[in-house]
């Protein structure tokens, strides 16, 4: 079966229902749709194990922060690839920042381990069931999640630094 956006979406909706899969768009040739936290794990498992689809390569995942969107502040983006059919797919899950909990994908993909640690480190997303959810790139005792939009980069014009300390 040749995978196209239409027939893949049809298959997924048939399996999971329209109430769980919505807002399918195609911004750059990669179909992007949204789902909810309850479905995501089952969905990725289904895409991996289905004999026809074989969308079984986790290319990447990352967090995104939209502080303006009420109760949909955080987003996890999963991008999957079917190496057999050369077909890519992007899934997004939005959830409130007051409840930043997502199911882990480490039981499906070994690669998800560090990707999820990175998302936890940057955005504070808690992955339930993750074997070792600790910071990965930043120091362990950092007290905030630096990629959230409320933390700006250092002001380029600040003057309270003593330049001699920085070799300037």
- Crossing angle of helices 5-16 and 37-49, rounded to 10°: 120
Cα distances from 12 to residues 16, 47, 69, 160, in angstroms, run 6, 8, 27, 56
Contact 94, 22 (CB under 8 A): no
Distance between CA atoms of residues 151 and 21, nearest Å: 32
Q: Enumerate residues 45-84 that contact another protein by CB under 8 A.
A: 56-60, 62, 64, 77, 79, 83
Closer Cβ to another protein, 19 or 68, answer by number: 68
Among 2, 27, 159, 163, binds another protein (CB under 8 A): 27
Closer Cβ to another protein, 16 or 54, answer by number: 54
Q: Enumerate residues 130-159 that contact another protein by CB under 8 A.
A: 132-144, 146-147, 152-153
The dihedral through the CA atoms of 6, 103, 96, 61 has a sign that is negative
Residue spans of alpha helices (H) in 62-109: none
Among 2, 18, 19, 28, binds another protein (CB under 8 A): 28
Closer Cβ to another protein, 27 or 167, answer by number: 27
Binding interface with another protein (CB under 8 A) = 27-28, 30, 32, 56-60, 62, 64, 77, 79, 83, 86, 88, 90, 98, 109-111, 113-115, 118, 120, 122, 124, 126, 132-144, 146-147, 152-153
């Amino acid at each position: 079966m040749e995978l196209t956006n239409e027939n893949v979406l049809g298959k997924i909706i048939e399996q999971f229902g329209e109430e769980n899969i919505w807002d399918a768009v195609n911004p750059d040739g990669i179909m992007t749709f949204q789902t909810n936290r309850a479905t995501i794990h089952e969905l990725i498992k289904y895409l991996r194990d289905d004999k026809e689809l074989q969308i079984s390569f986790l290319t990447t995942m990352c967090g995104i922060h939209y502080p303006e969107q009420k109760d949909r502040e955080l987003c996890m983006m999963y991008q999957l690839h079917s190496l057999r059919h050369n077909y890519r797919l992007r899934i997004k899950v939005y959830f409130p920042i007051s409840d930043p909990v997502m199911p882990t994908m480490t039981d499906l993909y070994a690669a998800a381990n560090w990707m999820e640690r990175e998302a936890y480190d940057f955005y504070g997303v808690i992955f339930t069931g993750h074997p070792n959810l600790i910071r990965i790139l930043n120091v362990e005792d950092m007290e905030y999640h630096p990629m959230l939009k409320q933390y700006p980069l250092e002001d380029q014009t600040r003057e309270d630094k003593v330049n001699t300390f920085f070799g300037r």
